[in-house]
Structure 1
Amino acid sequence: MRNLVRSLALVAVVFLGSQYVSAQQKIGHVNADEIFQMTAEFKTANEQLRTLNDTKTKELQGMYEEFQKKQNDANEKLRNRSEANKTTVDAELQTLGQDLQSMEQRIQEVQRVAQEDLGKKQQELLTPIQTKVMNAINAVAKEKGYAYVLDTSNGNVLYFQGGEDISADVKTRLGIAANATPAAPAVPPAR
């Protein structure tokens, strides 16, 4: 989606700079990310992602707390080691060290899997919404006769003056209330 928008923006700038765009061609602009975050589907997907993220975080916190407990036990055994119990304590410490190393590897694996799961779920939930928003933008652009529509949300449009903001028309097409506010993403976007 971003590559498409960047390509459109680049094409528009090249044509404008080269004086190839005739005065009859209309240029519009829209903040696609803001509209995307205003959709009801995004808000639902966002809650699902937040719930999944919270579940994975709690799981990792439980594992980390168990790791910390074992590490504290090992430190306590080390502090209480004397010449009389050195052999026994050293054997226990070696076992605890192996357990800690194994736990650390499990924690890292669970973190990796959690990030993958979140990324997959994010892709699964957000891709259809992105498609829906892009289809609405394209439909409005065609209806209104725009030759180019620039996306102001991604920062690639360094300057624009004039043109028409078609955001309200796109929101109407998507059934978004005029006074709706964007929802903040529950988790950072997968890259």
Structure 2
Amino acid sequence: MTTMNKFRVALAAAALTFTTATASMAQTAAPLKIGYTSVQYVLSQMPESKQIESQLKDYSTQLKSQLDAKSTEFRTKVEAYQKGGATMTDVVKADKEKELQNLQQSIQEFQQNAEVSLQQKQQTLLKPALDKLQKNIDAVADENGYTYILNSDGDSPLLLHGPKDGDVSDLILKKMGITPGAAAAAPKVASPAAASTQAAAPTATKTKTKTKK
């Protein structure tokens, strides 16, 4: 089974709309002001991050335990079939083979369903944090006169270049009462089929954009 890719906040962040321009800005001749932030960096420092990671890890462990139990049952029956196969009648042998095939198919279906279930759990847990982040992005944009705020995360970030003073990540954190710099682990999903259930976190980076000197 293919293990899940590293959890990327960009998957959930795609649901966010970072175009925070208001109608009044559009109607005035105010100069365009664009800022950017790293959603992953901000989320990694929010208190909710550790709780989300813990809950995802627990859920993944539960799924993996069920998968391990099914796999153990399958191996046990395979061993019994191999040991007694020579003495089985054709009818019994065919019945055992059919049972093993059905059990193997059940394991494969469980793996697929577990992956989907884990992704859905991840999205459910992240939604309140992302809603909170969006609310504070809007507030920072309004208070500091930003027409647009872009996301600099991902392999293909929306922002490819920008001045350092355009990074509003720390302003967003301060708006939420969080002191920037004490980066925590961003929530990550561990596949139930992975060899280890330890949910390691990707290193949070403040921004991936090139900044002007």
1:77 aligns with 2:84: yes
1:123 aligns with 2:140: no
Q: Secondary structure at the match of 1:146?
A: coil
Q: CA deviation at 1:175?
A: 2.6
Which residue pairs with 1:132 in the alignment?
Answer: 132
Scaled by the length of structure 2, the TM-score of the pair is 0.69
1:109 aligns with 2:109: yes
Which residue pairs with 1:180 in the alignment?
Answer: 182
Which residue pairs with 2:166 in the alignment?
Answer: 164
One-letter amino acid of the structure 2 residue matched with residue 37 of structure 1: S
Change (3 A) 1:177 1:161: closer
Conservation of the 8 A alpha-carbon contact between 1:30 and 1:150: yes
Identify unmatched segments of 5+ residues in structure 1: 12-21
Distance, in Å, in 2 between the alignment partners of 1:41 and 1:162 is 27
Runs of 4+ in 1 over 6 A off after TM superposition: none
Which residue pairs with 1:14 in the alignment?
Answer: none
Conservation of the 8 A alpha-carbon contact between 1:77 and 1:89: no
Q: CA deviation at 1:52?
A: 0.3
Q: 2:52 aligns with which of 28, 39, 45?
A: 45
Change (3 A) 1:3 1:125: closer
Conservation of the 8 A alpha-carbon contact between 2:43 and 2:186: no
Q: CA deviation at 1:31?
A: 0.8
Q: Secondary structure at the match of 2:147?
A: strand
Distance, in Å, in 2 between the alignment partners of 1:47 and 1:182 is 13
Identify unmatched segments of 5+ residues in structure 2: 1-12, 22-28, 192-213
One-letter amino acid of the structure 2 residue matched with residue 161 of structure 1: P
Identity of aligned residues (%): 29
User: Deviations 1:38-60 (Å, cap 9, x if unpaired)?
Assistant: 21112211111110001101110
One-letter amino acid of the structure 2 residue matched with residue 54 of structure 1: T
Conservation of the 8 A alpha-carbon contact between 2:40 and 2:153: yes
Q: Secondary structure at the match of 1:116?
A: helix
Q: CA deviation at 1:144?
A: 0.8
Specify which structure has the higher proportion of helix.
1
User: Deviations 1:119-140 (Å, cap 9, x if unpaired)?
Assistant: 2221211111111111111101
Q: Secondary structure at the match of 2:178?
A: coil
Structure 1 range deviating more: 176-185 or 35-44? 176-185
1:16-31 matched pairs, under 5 angstroms? 24-31=31-38
Scaled by the length of structure 1, the TM-score of the pair is 0.76
Conservation of the 8 A alpha-carbon contact between 2:40 and 2:186: no
Q: Pairwise CA RMSD of aligned residues?
A: 2.7
Change (3 A) 1:163 1:179: closer
Distance, in Å, in 2 between the alignment partners of 1:116 and 1:65 is 23
One-letter amino acid of the structure 1 residue matched with residue 74 of structure 2: F
User: Deviations 1:97-146 (Å, cap 9, x if unpaired)?
Assistant: 12112212221332233223222221211111111111111101110111
